[in-house]
């Protein structure tokens, strides 16, 4: 079973929900797909025992064959190649690893070599998996693919997505069974929730909402969900205690056992056909 946790924007408590859910289920694996800012480890404190590089293919020019014609630079739609004074300059960090330059070169002077752009890391028990993009690397998708290949299929995989509704999120939720959308009761939260809802509806995946920072007396998110026939899986109240513990890296499930029960019940309801 694969569950993706996403939010329209950062700061809504996506990692709290994903990490708490993973911590509450004994047969789970938390997978941090927020590869630019992986924060799950700050809450789950895993002991990383294995680090695997993630490689991509980038072009390499055989200078004995290259005549400096510039066809490769023209072929590259990402501007990752420049040719000046008959010399080819390659900018691997903006290369999208598409191989167009190899096809374009009339001299067959371009081959491809492996280049590391990040790592995936796992703990001893297969409870924790995270991807990390190396500093200076802008392209996240290969790390997401590697993470998805590396998950423990025998466990319940909880994917903590990157914030937003970008291409990276689309790739992360591809192949999942269920999406949890985390939001907060502000117009910003509502706006971003609507974007996340359109995203999961576009890919046709079942989903429910977790309302973080819920406040008594405000029912805007609940009303929206009711009108849209979206299940509200859980409400986490807006409490100073939770925010303070978060700043110290302590999950709600670690400060109060009752939360663990709530997350287990939420999981059961997801599995059992989304009836709370």
Interacting residues with another protein between 221 and 250 (CB under 8 A): 238, 240, 243-244, 246-249
Q: How many CB atoms lie within 10 A of CB 191?
A: 13
How far CA 136 is from CA of 53, 86, 116, 163, 166, in Å, comes to 16, 28, 12, 19, 19
- What's the rounded Cα separation, in Å, for the pair 63 and 71? 15
**Minimum separation from the CB atom of position 65 to another protein (A):** 18
Of residues 55, 68, 152, 188, which one binds another protein by CB under 8 A? Answer: 188
Instruction: State the nearest-atom distance from the C-beta of 28 to another protein, in Å.
Output: 22
Options 65, 116, 125, 202; binder of another protein; rule CB under 8 A: 202
Among 32, 121, 192, 260, binds another protein (CB under 8 A): 192
Cβ proximity to another protein, 25 vs 34, nearer residue: 34
Transcribe 164-226 into DSSP letters. Answer: SSSHHHHHHHTT-SEEEEEE-SSHHHHHHHHHHHHHHHHHT--EEEEEEEE-TT--HHHHHHH
Task: Report the distance separating Cα 125 and Cα 29, nearest Å.
Answer: 9
Least Å distance, CB 51 to another protein, is 13
Residues of span 76-135 touching another protein by CB under 8 A? 77-80, 82-85, 87, 89, 91, 93-94, 96-100, 103-104, 118, 132-135
Q: Which helix (H) or strand (E) holds 272?
A: none
**Which span sits near another protein by CB under 8 A: 18-26, 72-80, 175-183, 261-269?**
72-80
Among 2, 3, 4, 8, binds another protein (CB under 8 A): 8
Total residues contacting another protein by CB under 8 A comes to: 74
Q: Which is nearer to another protein, 3 or 56 (CB)?
A: 56
Q: What is the x/- site pattern for another protein, positions 146-185, by CB under 8 A?
A: -----------------xxxxxxxx-------------xx
- If the CB atoms of residues 27 and 63 are measured against another protein, the closer one turns out to be 63
35 touching another protein, by CB under 8 A = yes
Toward another protein, which CB reaches closer, 13 or 208? 13
Residue 57, phi then psi, degrees to nearest 5: -95, 130
Distance between CA atoms of residues 13 and 211, nearest Å: 9
Spatial neighbors of 236 by CB under 8 A, at least 6 apart, are: 13, 16, 17, 210, 211, 212, 213, 214, 242, 252
């Amino acid at each position: 079973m694969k569950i993706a946790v996403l939010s329209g924007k950062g700061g809504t408590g996506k990692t709290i929900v994903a990490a708490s859910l993973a911590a509450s289920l004994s047969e789970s694996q938390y997978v941090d797909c927020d590869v630019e800012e992986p924060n799950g480890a700050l809450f789950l404190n895993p002991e990383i025992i294995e680090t695997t590089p993630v490689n991509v293919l980038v072009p390499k020019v055989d200078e004995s064959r290259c005549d400096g014609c510039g066809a490769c630079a023209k072929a590259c739609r990402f501007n990752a190649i420049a040719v000046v004074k008959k010399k080819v300059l390659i900018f691997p960090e903006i290369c999208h690893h598409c191989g167009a330059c190899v096809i374009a070169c009339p001299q067959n002077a371009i081959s491809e070599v492996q280049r590391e752009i990040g790592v995936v890391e796992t703990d001893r028990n297969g409870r924790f998996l995270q991807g990390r993009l190396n500093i200076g690397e802008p392209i996240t998708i290969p790390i997401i693919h590697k993470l998805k290949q590396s998950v423990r299929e025998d466990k319940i995989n909880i994917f903590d997505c990157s914030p937003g509704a970008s291409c990276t999120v689309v790739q992360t939720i591809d192949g999942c069974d269920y999406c949890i959308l985390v939001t907060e009761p502000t117009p910003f939260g509502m706006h971003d929730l609507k974007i996340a809802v359109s995203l999961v509806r576009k890919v046709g995946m079942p989903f429910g909402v977790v309302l973080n920072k819920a406040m008594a007396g405000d029912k805007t998110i609940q009303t929206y969900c009711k009108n849209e026939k979206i299940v509200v899986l859980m409400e986490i109240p807006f409490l100073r205690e939770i925010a303070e513990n978060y700043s110290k890296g302590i999950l709600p499930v670690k400060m109060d056992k009752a939360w663990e029960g709530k997350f287990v019940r939420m999981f059961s309801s997801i599995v059992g056909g989304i009836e709370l």
